[in-house]
């Protein structure tokens, strides 16, 4: 089984502080994840000045400030990105980030990141998705808030861009790219879909984890789960259901000010989640049903055989009264019980002796 790719989502939990961002990377390293992910954006490029905060943001931050004011304090500049990228490279953990605007996308390109993570909020931002696809990097696409037709359209844009089709972008062109054989092939090679619920934290009743299986069946792509619930149970369950990628927010301290800390794991919890995921993926094994190595050792001890329930003389007929079923299992199988009833004993048998024919 292919190893589950675990992304520790630092996001904006550095609170705009570079030193805290380094500490988040150190925490992710200790937890044993595959990648640590940040968010790359310029507040002026992604929100208007007066747009209100989401309700969850109001609960965790100053309700009087605008979303722009909040995001402005959470930006990391190009120099910070370069330092974080190099630190990850030195420590052999993958640096991943979600760009939220075109300038940020090309900042990540200049860093030579190996993949692009696209947020649920940009799944319907088709011009941006087109720019993402033109980079020809693997894409992890979150699908929070999305319907299946919206996902089809987003994948069509990505296919169109990946194929670098020499025609004017249009809804019809995206549809044709998605339905084409080359489009299906390149999406299979380049795109991972993440089921997601865009609420922080996500109530368990709104997780709808079975929809991850719907995505897998509908699109035949690698599929995983971006988890905004509290705790680790849902991420572990997603792995048991076949998730190839798990993304989970983490923080140094849930009590820190900021929009995402409350819905994040603390370092010890992140480490526990990684451990439990590795246990589950090891336990999944293969689709073949057969005795395991350990079971083979136990099989002869715990299964049963046909034995004499009283002393039996040679030539005496086997009956319900003189044979029974007991451990161990290295004798005549109980499946032969009815076959030997009424047959003569080939020799003398003592009580509890395994019957042999």
Interval 282-310 mean pLDDT: 94
Domain boundaries, the chain: 5-284, 293-340
C-beta pairs of 267-273 under 8 Å, 24+ apart in sequence: 267/27, 267/30, 267/31, 269/231, 269/232, 270/8, 270/27, 270/28, 270/31, 270/33, 271/30, 271/31, 271/32, 272/232, 273/6, 273/31, 273/232, 273/235, 273/236, 273/248
Residue 260 has pLDDT above 70, yes or no: yes
pLDDT at 1 over 70: no
Query: What's the pLDDT tens digit per position in 66-111?
Result: 888 888 899 999 999 999 999 999 999 999 999 999 999 999 999 9
Topology of domain 5-284, CATH: TIM Barrel (3.20.20)
pTM (2 decimals)?
0.89
Burial class (CB within 10 angstroms; exposed 0-12, middle 13-18, buried 19+) of 121? middle
Tokens of residue 249, six digits: 């927010």
């Amino acid at each position: 089984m292919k190893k589950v790719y675990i992304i520790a989502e630092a996001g904006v939990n550095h609170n705009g502080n570079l030193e805290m961002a380094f500490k988040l990377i150190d925490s992710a390293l200790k937890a044993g994840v595959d990648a640590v992910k940040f968010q790359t954006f310029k507040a002026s490029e992604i929100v208007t000045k007066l747009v209100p905060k989401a309700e969850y943001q109001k609960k965790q931050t100053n309700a009087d400030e605008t979303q722009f004011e909040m995001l402005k304090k959470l930006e990391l500049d190009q120099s910070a990105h370069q330092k974080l990228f190099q630190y990850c490279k030195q420590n052999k953990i993958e640096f991943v980030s979600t760009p939220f605007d075109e300038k940020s996308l090309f900042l990540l390109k200049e860093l030579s990141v190996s993949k692009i993570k696209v947020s649920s909020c940009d799944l319907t931002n088709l011009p941006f998705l087109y720019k993402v696809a033109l980079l020809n990097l693997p894409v992890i696409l979150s699908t929070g808030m999305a319907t299946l037709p919206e996902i089809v359209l987003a994948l069509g844009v990505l296919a169109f861009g990946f194929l670098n089709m020499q025609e004017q972008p249009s809804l019809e062109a995206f549809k044709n790219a998605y339905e084409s054989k080359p489009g299906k092939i390149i999406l299979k090679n380049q795109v991972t879909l993440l089921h997601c619920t865009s609420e922080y934290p996500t109530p368990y009743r709104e997780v709808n984890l079975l929809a991850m299986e719907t995505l897998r069946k509908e699109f035949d792509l690698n599929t995983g789960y971006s988890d905004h619930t509290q705790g680790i149970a849902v991420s572990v369950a997603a792995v048991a259901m076949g998730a190839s990628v798990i993304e989970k927010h983490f923080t140094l301290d849930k009590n820190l000010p900021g929009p995402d800390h409350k819905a994040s794991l603390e370092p010890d919890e992140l480490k526990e989640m990684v451990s439990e995921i590795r246990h589950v993926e090891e336990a999944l094994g293969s689709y073949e049903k057969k005795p395991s190595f350990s079971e083979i050792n136990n099989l002869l001890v715990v299964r049963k055989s046909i034995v004499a329930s009283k002393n039996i003389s040679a030539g005496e007929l086997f009956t319900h009264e003189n044979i029974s079923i007991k451990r161990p299992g290295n004798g005549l199988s109980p499946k032969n019980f009815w076959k030997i009833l009424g047959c003569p004993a080939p020799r003398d048998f003592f009580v509890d002796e395994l019957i042999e024919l």
